[in-house]
Amino acid sequence: MAGYVGILVSDPWLENQFTQVELRSLKTHFTSMRRESGKLTVEDLASRMSRLKVVGENLSEQERADFIADLYPNLNDEVDFEFFLKVYLKLHAHASARTGSPAKNSSAFLKAATTTLLHTISESEKASYVAHINNYLAQDGFLNKYLPINPSSNDLFEIVKDGVLLCKLINVAVPGTIDERAINTKRLLNPWERNENHTLCLNSAKAIGCTVVNIGTQDFIEGRIQLLADLNLKKTPQLVELVDDSKDVEELMSLPPEKILLRWMNFQLKKSPYKKIVSNFSTDVKDAEAYAHLLNVLAPEHSNPSTLAVKDPFQRAKLVLEHADRMGCKRYLTTKDIVDGSPNLNLAFVAHIFQHRNGLSTQTKQISFLETLPDDAQVSREERVFRFWINSLGNSTYIDNVFEDLRNGWILLETLDKVSPGIVNWKIASRPPIKLPFKKVENCNQVVKIGKQLKFSLVNIAGNDIVQGNKKLILAYLWQLMRYNILQLLKNLRFHSHGKEITDVDILRWANTKVSDSGSQSRMDSFKDKSLSDGIFFLELLCAVQPRSVNWSLVTKGVTDEQKKMNATYIISIARKLGCSIFLLPEDITEVNQKMILTLTASIMYWFLKQPVEEKPSATSDSENGSQVETISNSTTDDSASESSVE
C-alpha cells in the first residue's frame, strides 16, 4: 500500500529525496513564505529561505540569489511547492559542498537523511557493488554491452540512470519480482520511460524489503537481499543445528538474517580455540583473527599456519583473503576493508562464506523439529505483506518479523501516527528498549484503544495479546490498519470524494465503471470473484487508467496455472511501474486473495485519482471524469451492502 496521509509530491524521484517529516516542515515554510505577499516568485526565494537550516545558515542572501539566478533566469516566474523543493535540494547540496569536507576518494550522492542531504559511499563499497553486478549480470542479453563496469570509474552511475540495471538487480536478489516485459528497454529512453523504470524499481524494491524512504546508492544496489536469501530455515533447514529444541527453532525463525549469520559464525567458532563472541561485522572482526579461525574450521585443507602467527592485522587479513580464494569463495572486499571494519562489506564476506561452505550437517536429527512447527503459507504471506508495508512507511526501526518486532507496541504506535497523524498520545508511550513488561502492555493497550477509535473490529483483543505475539490477532489488526490507510488516502483526495468516507463498495464500483467505460465487458462481482484469477480484469483496468501501460501482445489467455501466474506477475509490475505501492504476490491474484485484491484495486484507484485532471491518462472525456467523481461521492457507505466488503 502507499504511505500514510502526508504531503503528496507528483514526481516520485523528488518525493523519495525527503522523509515525510522533512516534507511537512518544508511545506510549512513554503506556505509561510507565500502567505507574506500572496505569492512567491523565483526572485523572492533568496531572501525568504534565510530561515531554513543549512541553506540559511551557510549561504548569505547574495550567495543564494546568485546561485538561483544562474540556474533559473526567469526570476518573475511564480514558484509552486515542487519547484521550491528542487531549489532547496540544489541549494542544500551547494551549501554542504562548501562547508563540508567530503572524504578523500569518495563520491557524494543526493540523499534525504534525517540530518543531512548528502550520502557518501567509499570507493571500496562502490568497487564491491560493481563486482557484484559484473558477476551476476554478466550474461544478461540487454546489459552485456555495458558490462563489465570499470570499478575505478563512475560508469556505474551513468548506466543506472535509465533504471534497467536497477530492475535487473532486483530480480537477481529475488527472482521473479519484476516481470521484465514491463521494463522499458529501448536503446534510447525518453524521460517519461526512464521515470517509469525508476518508479517500477523503487516500488519493487519496497516490495522485497529494501528501505527506500531515505534512498541512497546502497539501497538501489541491494545485493544484501540476495546475499542473505539463504539464511532461513526454508532455504537452509540445516540451520536448526544452531539450536537445542523446538522452542529455540521458533526463536531462530524470528531472527533477522544478520543475527542468524552471527549465530552461525559463533557456532562454528566454538569448534576452534577462539574464545571471543563476535557480535558485529565491524570492530569484532577487524583484526581478522575470527576470520582465520572460522576458515580453518570450514576449510582446514586450505589453512596456512602463518595466518594466526603474524602480528600485523593487515598481513593476517591478506592471508585470510588468500584462504578464501583457495576455497573458491567469492569476495568483494580488500584487506583494508577488513581492518577498517567496514560493516557492509564484512557482512557480505561472511554471507559469501556461508553460501559457499556453511559447515552444517546435512543429516542432522534436529531437522525433525521443523516437522512439528506450523507451516501456514497464508500466514507467512500475510506477515510478509504487512512487514514490508510497515517498513515502507519509514518508522524508526526496521522490522524483520511482525509477530516478534511489534510486541512492545512502539512500532505499531509509530505506524498509527503515520496513518492518522496526531492520534497517538506520546506522553504515555514508552520508547524502546523497554525492560519492564507492564510498559509494553501499556503501549499495546494504547494501540488497541486507538484501533477502537478508528472503528476496527477488535472483539476480545487486549494489549497483552499483542505482547504475547498472538499471530491471528496481530494479523487481524494489521489488515484493518492497512485497509484504513488506503481508505483514508482515497478520502483525502477531496476533489473526488467530497470529504466523504470511501468504502469497499465505492472501490468495487469505481473499478467496474472504469473498465466498462473503456468498452470492455469484464467486471468483478466482488473482491473474491474467482473469475479474477486469470488477471484479465486487472489488465483491462490498468489499460483503462493508462492506455499505453499494457502491451496486449504479451498477455496470455490465462487458461493454465502457469499462464495465470504470468499475467499476475505482469499486472503487479505494470501497477508498480505506474506508481502504485503494492506488496502482494502473484499467488494473491491467481488464488483471489480477497484482502490483497482489495488493496490492489484501491492502489490503482488512488494512483488514478491523484493525477491532475488535465493530465489524467485516460481515454475518458472531462464530462466522463465528472460523472465518475459524482459516482464516488454519492455511493452508499454501507459496507455490508455488498459481499465485496472485506472484514
Residues 537, 590: Cα–Cα separation, whole Å: 12
Q: What is the pLDDT of residue 83?
A: 87
> How much is the pLDDT for 425?
95
Strand ranges (DSSP E) for 601-644? none
pLDDT score of 545: 94
CB atoms under 10 Å from CB of 188, counted, come to 6
Q: Decide: 560 and 630 in contact? Cβ < 8 Å.
A: no
pLDDT at 452: 96
Place of cell 576518494: 105
629: CB partners within 8 A, 6+ apart: 495, 496
pLDDT for 214 equals 44
Q: What are the pLDDT digits (tens) for 521-579?
A: 899 999 999 999 999 999 999 999 999 999 998 888 767 899 999 999 999 999 999 98
Contact 291, 339 (CB under 8 A): no
CATH of the domain spanning 239-356: 1.10.418.10
pLDDT, average across residues 282-308? 93
Q: Nearest CA to 116 among 105, 140, 100, 132?
A: 100
What local confidence, expressed as pLDDT, does residue 229 receive?
A: 65
Instruction: Return the pLDDT at 642.
Output: 37
Instruction: Look at residue 24 and tell me whether its pLDDT is greater than 70.
Output: yes
H or E segment at 107?
Answer: strand 106-110
- The domain spans of the chain are 12-98, 125-222, 239-356, 377-493, 504-610
Instruction: Kindly indicate the confidence band of residue 613, based on its pLDDT and cuts at 50, 70 and 90.
Output: low
Tell me which amino acid residue 215 is.
I
In the predicted structure, residue 9 carries a pLDDT above the cut 90? no
How many whole angstroms separate alpha carbon 355 and alpha carbon 235? 11
Q: What is the pLDDT of residues 396-451, one digit of tens each?
A: 888 888 898 999 999 999 999 999 999 999 999 999 989 899 999 999 999 999 99
Q: What is the pLDDT of residue 630?
A: 37
Centroid of chain to Cα 497: 29
Percent of the chain, pLDDT > 90? 38
* Fold held by 504-610: Actin-binding Protein, T-fimbrin; domain 1 (1.10.418)
Q: Report the phi/psi class of residue 277: left, alpha or beta, with left for phi > 0 and alpha for psi in -120 to 50.
A: beta
The pLDDT, as a whole number, for residue 432 is: 92
Report the pLDDT averaged over residues 174-193: 87
Tens of pLDDT, residue by residue over 502-513, are 899 999 999 999
Model pLDDT for residues 36-61, shown as the tens digit of each residue: 767 888 888 888 887 776 777 778 88
Q: Are 610 and 602 in contact (CB under 8 A)?
A: no
> For residue 109, what is the enclosing H or E element?
strand 106-110
Residue 622 has pLDDT above 50, yes or no: no
More confident residue, 495 or 77: 77
DSSP collapsed to 3 states, 218-273: HHHCCHHHHHCCCCCCCCCHHHHHHCCCHHHHHHHHHCCHHHHHHHHHHHHHCCCC
| Helix and strand numbers, DSSP H then E, in the chain | 33, 2
Assign domain 125-222 to a CATH class. Answer: mainly alpha
Q: In sequence order, what are the residues at sequence separation of 6 or more whose Cβ sits closer than 8 angstroms to the Cβ of residue 17?
A: 85, 89, 110, 111, 112, 117, 215
Same CATH topology for 125-222 and 504-610: the answer is yes
The highest-level CATH class for domain 377-493 is mainly alpha
Mean pLDDT, residues 61-75: 83
Higher pLDDT, 465 or 126: 465
Which residues make beta-bridge pairs with 122?
106
What integer pLDDT is reported at residue 633 of this predicted model? 37
Please state, rounded to an integer, the average pLDDT across all residues of the chain.
80
Strand 118-122 to 106-110 pairing:
antiparallel
Q: What is the pLDDT of residue 227?
A: 61
